[in-house]
């Protein structure tokens, strides 16, 4: 019968060293002390690993390594971070955690344009005892299961995040944010993704936990959580989406609401009502596994149908919607958003648009809730006059869209003060007093349309003047259709000879096409991206851009800013309307952006001089500007194929005005040319703007 194999039992290294020493001749060996010490450490690590387990040992080693790495890189900043956190939390008070302050927007004369509110109201703030228990448990189950025990941060979660951060070489830095950390980020920090912000976030969270009770912190969190659409707090969300108080919500409705703050815009109930259902189900499952709800309650809640009530309109007027847009973009810039105007491919462009939309909606939510004071350059009297100019010239077109009763023939007007570079009026469409949502679309900055020939001075001719052309350069009006045939050598094509000046005045497509072929689309369109035309994509870098053939198009705000650049000797200033942005404490946040040199001064002056001829002998001669005003003016017409879009963009020494006319759903419009309705609107607008102004030189 075979002997049963004995299980190997490890003999301690220390014992083996001693035994080996005893078996020697009795004389002391020089290496015995060293071997004894080494054996001791071997045994220590062996028993440490087997007693405390590998995971704890690895965790301690990882913690030590991470601590050394972080201290080496951020040790100097630690003290300043800690001091900042101490000061913030020490000075904090319960009022800091109320997201129900009103933002005011003022015009250039100090008159109030609008009062923006998140809709919360003071009555929407819930004390801890008033918050539904299901809401508290839902947030804790899905966001921070260790909430009631942790010190404001979750050590295990942080180790996981740090490991991901190191293994991804800095690309991954997300997760493990406790409820207290999220509160810290919402109230005190920006949304940048950096290790510095994460450290500050944790420091503040720890100190908040020392100062406030757990009940107070979760109260603050529930009332400051963003539920999209400028809505903060579960009470305001309950009223907005379900039309009742949070205390009246079902378990399923509560879980649905608690799903939204994770990604407010992605889970926006008004835009994507079904998206939050999957996360609702996860929250209910987590609540069940944590023992917050019973199996029967879970099964009932998960089967419940969620119905969101209709959104209340938030529209004001065209000047206010534009002011909100400018303020939101400025807050995005202030909080680190990286605006881009060039893209590698379509996927890159779409990815950027998604990140832009997410950041925009987040900052818009904050604008409505954090009590800013916004001073603008918008002038109410000018706004009214521009609106009247558009309405009067399109009064003949009374046909409406059967789906929304909005006039089919529409328009947009943007006015820039050349001295300041600021927008002073922005008209986003025709007036219709009988419609509540007429201001829901501000075409001046939201409608991107094909610019036709109005783009030529910006992307072809002014760049050509910098490239070596002069107003008197002889150019040829080639056959564009022939030039577009495969394999044709465009540079070898012939056409009628004329000066560059004449080609601009008569808006010759063949000349613009051939010149862009020579200077190259990448060069010509680079001037547009330098002036923040934000929808120039890789597919636009073709010769069709010479004729205004762009994938998405441009807006009147962009065109007014660009033509004003020509009038200002090539210096570009962002065509926004902000003068001052103050926070709820009255601290000034706004800093004027420095002008950027886009075109050479000489090229700009030559371009303006050429464009004067458009109004005297060119495509806008019939406008008769010089017969009604002594103020010099320059401009350019633009008409797209089948007269779907009409443009007139023009300048005087004082103002730049860009006008677009067309239908929201592009379709041919009878008698629509750049020299017809758009030029007429421009003329009425500019006559009002320059009335009584001396006829100073435009150059």
- 441-495 pLDDT tens trace: 999 999 999 999 999 999 999 999 999 999 999 999 999 999 999 999 999 999 9
Q: Which residue has the tokens 């923040």?
A: 532
Burial class (CB in 10 A: 0-12, 13-18, 19+), 515: buried
Place of tokens 């979660």: 157
For 655-684, the pLDDT digits (tens) are 999 999 999 999 999 999 999 999 999 999
Compute CA distances 498 → 5, 61, 251, 477, 494, whole Å: 105, 79, 77, 8, 12
Q: How confident is the model at residue 38 (pLDDT cuts 50, 70, 90)?
A: low
Q: Which residues of 59-68 are buried (b: 16+ CB within 10 A; e: fewer)?
A: eeeeeeebee
Q: What is the mean pLDDT of the segment spanning 70-82?
A: 68
Stated as kind and residue range, the H or E segment containing 158 is helix 155-167
- Is the Cα torsion angle 631, 634, 637, 638 positive or negative in sign? negative
> Are 651 and 564 spatial neighbours (Cβ–Cβ below 8 Å)?
yes
pLDDT digits (tens, 9 = 90+) for 402-452: 988 999 999 999 999 999 999 999 999 999 987 767 888 999 999 999 999
Residue 595 DSSP one-character state: P
168 has a pLDDT exceeding 70: no
When the pLDDT of each residue in the chain is averaged and rounded to a whole number, the result is 88
423-427 vs 409-417, strand pairing mode = antiparallel
Q: Which two tokens stand for residue 483?
A: 């030039």
Check residues 2 and 582 and name the one with the higher pLDDT: 582
Q: What is the mean pLDDT of residues 603-618?
A: 98
Q: Which helix (H) or strand (E) holds 214?
A: helix 214-224
Look-up: residue for tokens 């709800």? 293
Q: What integer pLDDT is reported at residue 138 of this predicted model?
A: 97
Report the pLDDT value the prediction gives residue 200, as an integer from 0 to 100. 84
Give yes or no for a contact between 545 and 455, defined as CB atoms under 8 angstroms apart: yes
Pairing, β 655-663 against β 645-651: antiparallel
Q: Is the pTM of this model over 0.85?
A: no
pLDDT category at 561 given cuts 50, 70, 90 is very high
Range with top average pLDDT, 95-104, 353-362, 385-394, 581-590: 385-394
Q: Given pLDDT bands bounded at 50, 70 and 90, which one contains residue 24?
A: low
Which tens digits make up the pLDDT trace of 217-247?
999 999 999 898 878 899 999 999 999 999 9
pLDDT digits (tens, 9 = 90+) for 143-154: 999 999 999 988
Give the C-alpha separation, 70 to 390, whole Å. 61
Whole-number pLDDT of residue 76: 63
479: its two tokens: 């056959």
Whether 8 has a pLDDT exceeding 80, the answer reads no
Task: Report the pLDDT value the prediction gives residue 389, as an integer from 0 to 100.
Answer: 98
Between 293 and 118, the more confident residue is 293
C-alpha to C-alpha distance for 184 and 187, rounded to whole angstroms = 5
Q: Say if residue 17's pLDDT is above 70.
A: no
């Amino acid at each position: 019968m075979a002997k049963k194999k004995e299980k190997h039992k490890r003999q301690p290294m220390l014992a083996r060293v001693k035994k080996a020493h005893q078996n020697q001749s009795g004389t002391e060996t020089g290496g015995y002390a060293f071997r004894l010490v080494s054996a001791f450490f071997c045994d220590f690590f062996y028993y440490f690993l087997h007693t405390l387990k590998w995971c704890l040992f690895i965790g301690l080693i990882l913690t030590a390594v991470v601590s050394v790495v972080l201290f080496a890189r951020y040790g100097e900043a630690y003290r300043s971070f800690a001091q900042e956190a101490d000061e913030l939390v020490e000075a904090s008070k319960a009022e800091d955690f109320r997201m129900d302050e009103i933002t005011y927007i003022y015009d250039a004369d100090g008159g109030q344009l609008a009062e923006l509110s998140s809709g919360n109201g003071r009555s929407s703030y819930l004390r801890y005892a008033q918050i539904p228990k299901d809401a508290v448990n839902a947030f804790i189950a899905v966001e921070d299961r260790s909430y009631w025990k942790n010190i404001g941060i979750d050590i295990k979660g942080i180790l996981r995040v740090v490991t991901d951060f190191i293994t991804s070489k800095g690309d991954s830095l997300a997760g493990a944010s406790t409820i207290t950390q999220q509160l810290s980020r919402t109230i005190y920090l920006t949304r940048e993704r950096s290790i510095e912000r994460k450290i500050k976030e944790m420091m503040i969270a720890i100190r908040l936990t020392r100062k406030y009770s757990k009940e107070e912190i979760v109260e603050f969190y529930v009332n400051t959580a963003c539920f999209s659409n400028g809505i903060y707090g579960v009470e305001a969300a309950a009223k907005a989406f379900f039309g009742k108080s949070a205390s009246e919500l079902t378990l399923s409705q509560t879980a649905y609401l608690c799903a939204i703050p994770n990604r407010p815009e992605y889970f926006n109930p008004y835009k994507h009502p079904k998206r939050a259902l999957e996360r609702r189900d996860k929250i209910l499952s987590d609540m069940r596994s944590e023992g917050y709800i019973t199996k029967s309650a879970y099964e009932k809640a998960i089967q419940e149908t969620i119905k969101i009530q209709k959104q209340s309109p938030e529209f004001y007027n065209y000047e206010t919607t534009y002011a909100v847009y400018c303020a939101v973009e400025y807050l995005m810039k202030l909080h680190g958003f990286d605006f881009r105007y060039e893209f590698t491919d379509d996927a890159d462009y779409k990815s950027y648009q998604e990140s832009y939309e997410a950041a925009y909606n987040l900052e818009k939510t904050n604008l409505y809730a954090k009590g800013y004071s916004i001073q603008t350059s918008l002038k109410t009297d000018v706004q009214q006059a521009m609106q009247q100019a558009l309405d009067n010239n399109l009064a003949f077109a009374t046909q409406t869209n059967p789906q929304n009763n909005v006039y089919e023939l529409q328009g947009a007007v943007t006015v820039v003060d050349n001295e300041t570079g600021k927008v002073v009026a922005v008209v986003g469409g025709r007036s219709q007093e009988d419609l509540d949502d007429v201001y829901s679309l501000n075409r001046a900055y939201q409608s991107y349309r094909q610019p036709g020939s109005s783009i030529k001075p910006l992307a072809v001719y002014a760049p050509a003047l910098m490239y070596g052309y002069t107003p008197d350069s002889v150019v040829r009006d080639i056959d564009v259709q022939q030039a577009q045939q495969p394999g044709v050598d465009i540079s070898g094509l012939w056409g009628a000879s004329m000066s560059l000046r004449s080609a601009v005045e008569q808006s010759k497509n063949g000349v613009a096409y051939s010149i862009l072929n020579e200077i190259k689309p990448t060069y010509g369109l680079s001037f547009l991206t330098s002036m923040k035309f934000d929808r120039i994509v890789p597919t636009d870098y073709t010769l069709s851009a010479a004729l205004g053939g762009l994938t998405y198009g441009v807006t009147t705000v962009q065109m007014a800013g660009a033509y004003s650049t020509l009038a200002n000797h090539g210096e570009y200033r962002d065509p926004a309307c902000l003068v001052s942005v103050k926070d709820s404490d009255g601290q000034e946040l706004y800093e004027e952006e420095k002008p950027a040199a886009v075109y050479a001064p000489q090229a700009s002056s030559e371009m303006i001089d050429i464009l004067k001829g458009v109004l005297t002998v060119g495509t806008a001669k019939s406008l008769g500007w010089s017969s009604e005003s002594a103020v010099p003016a320059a401009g350019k017409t633009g008409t797209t194929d089948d007269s779907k879009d009409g443009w007139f963009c023009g300048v005087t020494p004082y103002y730049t005005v860009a006008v677009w006319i067309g239908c929201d759903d592009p379709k041919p419009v009878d008698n629509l040319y750049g020299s017809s309705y758009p030029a007429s609107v421009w003329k009425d607008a500019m006559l009002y703007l320059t009335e009584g102004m001396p006829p100073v030189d435009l150059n």
